[in-house]
Structure 1
Amino acid sequence: MEMRAVEAARRWLADQGVNQVRDGWVSDEKPGELLTATQVAQSWACDVFTEDVDAADQVRLAFGLLDLLDEYWVTCEIRFAEKSAEGPLPAGVLWDGYRRRLEADRDADAVTYSLWVDWFEDHTTSATAFAEVLGHDIDRVVADRSEPLLRRARRVLEHSGPVRWTVKEPTYRAAARLSDLHPAVFHGIRASFHDVYGDLEPTAALLLLDQLDLPAGTRHLGELRHVLASGHKNHSRGPGAWEDAVRACS
């Protein structure tokens, strides 16, 4: 959590008449009504992008609000602003905000969910988003091996199922050079098969899977190898394939 960004967001909310109390939030408009963080996000996050400051400061404020509320809806408002008539948002500030929160040693569910369902499932944005949060600097991640960078890589790989295989395969292969990332690459390949919008090439994915040094008894490893060896690309496009694999591996 970036405390300066959080405090800026807290002050901004106070200026809107919204303040945090012991069990939630209250607004000046309805001081007797206790609000949840979700309600605050859904009611006020959109107003960040109407502030009379430059777009970069709007994005920084939005990320501060995300840190403060830990609500996925804040990322939705960031995405809406990116695609609005006033967009796109400044790319450097936007993607730096995602990278920092993916590296942070705290819960990142709102950020990873945002990447997965909003940026990665949309093929007009998935290649850019994947490159910005990991693809461009996977070699630095592997060489540096610092825990924040590894944390970001794991989170991105595990949620990268919908990204086109041709986009993510080079990053998967680079990540496979580092054993610390092997479980995350495995989860990425598995998600590429199971996600509704998942994408992979079975032969290439199987070759990569066989290079990973995974713990004995890794759950679903045999089944994943079986469906890939059978040439299946995706769970939804191969009805019954996973069930056949489960039977074959039992």
Structure 2
Amino acid sequence: MDSGAVEAARHWLAEQGVTQVHDGWVRHERPDVLLTANDVAHTWAGDVFAEDLDPAGRLRLAFGLLDLLDEYWVTCAIRFADDSSEGPLPADLLWDGYRRRLEADKADKEAEAVTYSLWVDWFEDRATSATAFAEVLGNDIEHVVTDPSQAPLRRARRVLECSGPVPWSVKEPTYRTALRLPALHPALFRGLRASFHDVYGDLNPAAALALLDRLDLPADTPHLAELRQVLAAGHANHYRSPGAWDDAVRSCS
């Protein structure tokens, strides 16, 4: 968390007449009406990008608001601004902001706004998935694997787990590199599983099975046998092969 950006966001909200109280947030003119962080995000996050600041300043303020509120809707405002007529946003600051928050030493639940944003916005969109995946992991997976430290490993694990919608041709080289680091095997398994189960999940069954068979996982890992069976049968996606997963569950039970 960028404490300076958080305080800037808190100050900016105060200028909008919004302050934090013990149980939530209140408007100055209606101090009796308690607002949630989600209420604040939906009402004010988009206004950050109308401020009289340069694009970098607006983006820093938006990330500060994300850290302060921890709400997915703030990431939506960032994405909308990037895709607007005044976009794109400064790419170096945008992706550095994502990487830093993916590396944050906090519970996965507390990082969910960022991982969910990657999954359903940047990764599901074929126009942005390749760039987004490269920026948050693909470009430096070799360094993460050869010189691992806790923060980049957290980022790699979180990205792999939500990478189901990324096109197979884009993510396979990163998956193969991640395979070299056993600490990433559980996350890689969850990425493969999501690649099969997500509505927009993408994988090559034979190549995915070859990766799966090289993972060092406990034999009783939930869903391991079922995933191996559907891939061996040539199924690429749960929704394009109705019943295949249920058949595998019955067969493996």
Which TM class, normalised by the smaller chain length? over 0.9
Q: List per-residue Cα deviations over 1:65-100 (Å, max 9, x = no partner).
A: 000000000000000001100000000000000000
Count of residue pairs the alignment pairs up: 250
Distance 1:125 1:111 in 2: 16
Distance 1:129 1:197 in 2: 16
Distance 1:157 1:102 in 2: 11
Match of 1:243 among 238, 243, 246: 246
Distance 2:71 2:217 in 1: 34
In the alignment, which residue of structure 1 is the partner of 2:87? 87
Q: What one-letter code is carried by the residue in structure 2 that aligns with 1:108?
A: A
State the TM-score, normalizing by the size of structure 1. Answer: 0.99
In the alignment, which residue of structure 2 is the partner of 1:181? 184
In the alignment, which residue of structure 2 is the partner of 1:103? 103
Please show how residues 1-250 of structure 1 align to structure 2 within 5 Å.
1-106=1-106, 107-250=110-253
Distance 1:216 1:242 in 2: 19
State the TM-score, normalizing by the size of structure 2. Answer: 0.97
Q: Structure 1 segments of 4 or more deviating over 6 A?
A: none
Distance 1:216 1:199 in 2: 25
Q: What one-letter code is carried by the residue in structure 1 that aligns with 2:177?
A: A
Answer with 31-40 or 84-93: which moved more.
31-40
CA deviation after TM superposition for structure 1 residue 27, in Å: 1.1
Distance 1:238 1:90 in 2: 41
Equivalent pairs: percent with the same residue? 74
CA deviation after TM superposition for structure 1 residue 50, in Å: 0.6
Answer with 172-181 or 31-40: which moved more.
31-40
Q: What one-letter code is carried by the residue in structure 2 that aligns with 1:214?
A: L
Could you tell me which runs of 5 or more consecutive residues in structure 2 were left unpaired when the two chains were aligned: none
Q: What's the Cα RMSD here? A: 0.7
Could you tell me which runs of 5 or more consecutive residues in structure 1 were left unpaired when the two chains were aligned: none
CA deviation after TM superposition for structure 1 residue 46, in Å: 0.6
Distance 1:249 1:33 in 2: 54
